Chain A
Amino acid sequence: MAEIVKLGFAPLVDCAIPVAAAEIGFAAAEGIDLMLDRAPSWAALRDKLAFGRVDGAHILAPLALAIHHGIAGVPATPLVVPVSLGLANNAITVSMELYERMVAAAPDVMAGPPSLRARALRPVIDADRAAGKPFLSFVTVFHFSCHHYELLKWLADGGIDGRTEVNIGVIAPPRMVESLAAGWIDGYCAGEPWNLRAVQRGVGQVVVTKADIRPDGLEKVLGLRADWADADAARTSALIRAVVKAADWCADPANRGDLARLLAEPRHVGLAADLIAETLAGAMPAPNRNRPDPADVGRLLMEMTAAGQLQAPADGGAALTAVWRPDLYDGAMGG
């Protein structure tokens, strides 16, 4: 009898790995009946994980740490991270109006490297302040997300304090483009296809991509409930193998067409296959990047602390670093 394993996922292009594990047969080959649970928001995914409705999830790396640490709005729930899942291809998009103001105020900056383009916001922000206008509003996908840290870093590199000089909120990605078009927000940091969508509709311009801000920043991981992972080591190893094999399959460009069609189904992402295919290229992790690297935790903790989400841990982050479990990965993969 196949073991039933329940994994939560958010309907984004990079949910490809758990979807492929379930649908292309990698889980079945490991004796696992993988049931996927689609969560329409990170809050819903967090709740399902924290209250045991799912055994694990394809989850934002900083959210996994926040849940474990008990700062994510639910009681602390011990997790383990045995697989790194992706780097994502996030970008920052601004409204046409803001883009034009930035170009008009600082054409040289806008013609220069994208990582420094936030400098063009300085004259815009100063002019707004002098005119008594409200702050510019940016949004990201969730506060415990790399998108949030990428936006803060891009602003900081341009000399803007993201915590005091602009508003940073949260909107579900499917609502970002219409919010930008309606003028409720001035920009956002999101994964694809939400940047491409705004550009195609002519309501926004991409000013910088993740590659220019935080190129090696880890984005998503496989997070498992520690009690579930500990209860049956063989089952946990089988799941790790299924997910890593699925990741390799997803990384192979030859499979992109099949993958895009699979993701396009409403039960997964539910967007046009050609739009998904266009964004898949940058979204998949390079092969052999799935072993969890504790160095990623140190970096995330610094970013979470800088964002005001976390007080510097007294143990220097040792307890949170131990959430990352390369030993489980090695045990499963025979490394």
Chain B
Amino acid sequence: MTDKSMANPEPNILVIDGNPDRAAVVERGLVESGWVRVSTIGPSVNLLARIQALAPDVIIIDLENPDRDTLEQMFQVSRVVQRPIAMFVDQSDSQMIHAAIEAGVSAYVVDGLRQDRIKPIVETAITRFNAFDRLRRERDEAQSKLQDRKQVEKAKGLLMKHRGLSEEDAYTLMRRTAMKQNRKLSDIAQSVITAFEMEI
């Protein structure tokens, strides 16, 4: 848990992400890890005004977000008013930098927030970004498997109807062809569907 003394109030964390689902996952992860002051904003045209209103100590933003250039300008401007926002890139911790870039996370911090307090925040964000990507990959795979199965069913039906094959024979025919041609069963099913569609 983080230090909750009066002298060191909880850092105010802002999550900016073009993907609202991922922003929610990151926010929940931070809150569950004990940081209570977390807010999120999605894509926004009037970004600077909104950030200034929220006055965050730490900004977590997805690496690919086009609004990062706007944030960087804030860093330049803020230097003048002695409340700089510095990009979180400390060469001494290159392992974490590479993990962050790999995960697609970037972070900006208000100068003065101690390094040891920032690190666990960024690490939590990295973990959550990675978890989100893994979930999305799994969901995409599940969806594509379902799609494959639907295609095989459709091809089987076409073979049964137009070639008078039993369900089992239709399936065996496609499997054998797939093995012979070293292709996926779903590819063969797609070929069957295309062939029948062209004949019709």
Contacts and interface: CB of A to CB of B under 8 A. Distances in A.
Decide if A and B are genuine partners.
yes
Interface of A: 39-44, 47-48, 50-51, 53, 73-75, 141-143, 169-172, 174-175, 178-179, 182, 184, 309
Contacts of B68: 41, 43-44
B69 A172 contact: yes
A40 B66 contact: yes
Contacts of A41: 64-69
Contacts, number: 72
A307 to B, nearest CB: 10
B82 interface: no
Given A44-B63, A47-B101, A47-B106, A184 B45 contact: yes
Given A73-B72, A170-B69, A182-B45, 19 more contacts: A40-B66, A41-B67, A43-B71, A44-B64, A47-B106, A48-B101, A51-B98, A53-B101, A73-B87, A74-B89, A75-B91, A141-B69, A142-B73, A143-B73, A169-B73, A172-B66, A172-B67, A172-B70, A184-B45
Interface size class of B (residues with CB under 8 A): 20 to 34
B76 interface: yes
A75 to B, nearest CB: 5
Secondary structure dominating the interface of B: helix
Contacts of A42: 69, 72
Contacts of B69: 41-43, 141-142, 170-172
Contacts of B70: 169-172
B120 to A, nearest CB: 21
B75 interface: yes
B45 A170 contact: no
A141 B73 CA distance: 10
Contacts of A43: 68-69, 71-72, 106
